[in-house]
Amino acid sequence: MTHTARLALALLASVTLTGMAAPAFAQSGEVNIYSYREQSLLQPLLDRFTAESGVKVNVLYAGDGLLERVAAEGELSPADVVLTVDIGNLVGAEEQGLTQKITTPVLDERVPAAFRDDDDNWTALSLRARVFFVSKERVDATALTYDDIAKPEWKGRVCTRPGDHAYNIGLIAQRIAATGLDATRTWLTAVRDNLAYPPSGNDREGVKNILAGTCDLSISNTYYMGVMLNNDAEPEQKEWANSARIVYPDAETDGTQVNVAGGFIAKYAPNVENANALIAFLLSDEAQSIYADTNYEFPVVPSVSPSELTLSWGTLKPASTPLSEIAAHRAEAAALVDELKFNEGAQN
């Protein structure tokens, strides 16, 4: 059986297992992407890449299961580039042997060391900060720290999504990396007991509850402010967003915790040169600006400015803890959430 036939067979099996459409098998002048990122967010970037490079882009979009698919397909996988969110997925892919070294020199030239793998097996493509949305009416503070929300004055005023969600696991893992496990246990216990209700829903629900008066501070990702303010399909979300303002925790000290959207080149990528060209493009000023304007995220390339809307929320000073170090504490963070029964809410 030829290599092309094996690729086609692997893709057919993939479709049979999942019921999802898969990209065409690899050909010269093409690049195949597996993406967790939504099509509406990614397509403007890919259209520009094809227009400038002439390389055809085939994309398989899915909400989950793509890393497992790449692993199951093995040497037959047609995937060239995998785009995902959360540092846990990027480090997990490397640990499973699903990656190969990104060789475009653009990577080391443009991405700070804290936001890429030491051996260039993955890279961040944009940043998202874990911040505080606070009530415009009931919170006067303009500067807050993560330690502040563990203080008695915030009793019954804090809300967040479940503690075992990747966004909160990243925050807790960063705290472990920065302050140690015991200090983080003490902090997370106090945060749990300051919760207005047991963690539930998503980041938008927390902001909705600020408007409702259920809580005064929601731990949320920055970009949800932009998403809600521009949600014409559900205009009530504009009201939620307008009831709150963003405070960047630890902006004047250690910096705000960030997570990433990023990508890697698959170990058995059939179009390695095109994959590296795509990564280089995604780190260009043009692509980084598109990320910023479309997704309300922060460019990972320091010289590229966030969107005007994002800048209106304040200035992000990212915490300096390397992403790989944060990822190393994710299992401890998850265990701590379970140990403290965080998702049951306040216990005193």
- Average of per-residue pLDDT across 164-186: 97
- Average of per-residue pLDDT across 11-15: 38
- Average of per-residue pLDDT across 291-310: 93
- 80: amino acid identity, one letter: D
Q: What is the DSSP code (8-state) at residue 25?
A: P
How far lies 194's CA from each of 83, 89, 130, 309, in Å? 36, 30, 18, 31
Buried b (16+ CB within 10 A) or exposed e, 270-308: bbbebbbbbbbbbbbeebbbbbbbbbbbbbbbeebebbe
Please determine, for residue 15, whether its predicted confidence score (pLDDT) is greater than 90: no
Nearest-angstrom CA–CA distance, 235 and 142: 27
Whether 337 contacts 169, CB under 8 Å: yes
**Chain-centre distance of CA 196, in angstroms?**
26
pLDDT for 114-123, tens place per residue? Answer: 999 999 999 9
Whether 219 contacts 132, CB under 8 Å: yes
Buried b (16+ CB within 10 A) or exposed e, 8-22: bebbeebeeeeeeeb
Nearest-angstrom CA–CA distance, 44 and 83: 15
pLDDT for 237-258, tens place per residue? Answer: 999 999 999 999 999 999 999 9
Percentage of residues in the chain with pLDDT exceeding 70? Answer: 92
pLDDT for 269-279, tens place per residue? Answer: 999 999 999 99
Report yes or no on whether pTM surpasses 0.85. Answer: yes
How far lies 108's CA from each of 101, 243, 252, in Å? 12, 41, 28
Tell me, what's the pLDDT at 28?
61
Domains in the chain and their CATH numbers? 3-126+258-311 (3.40.190.10), 129-257+315-344 (3.40.190.10)
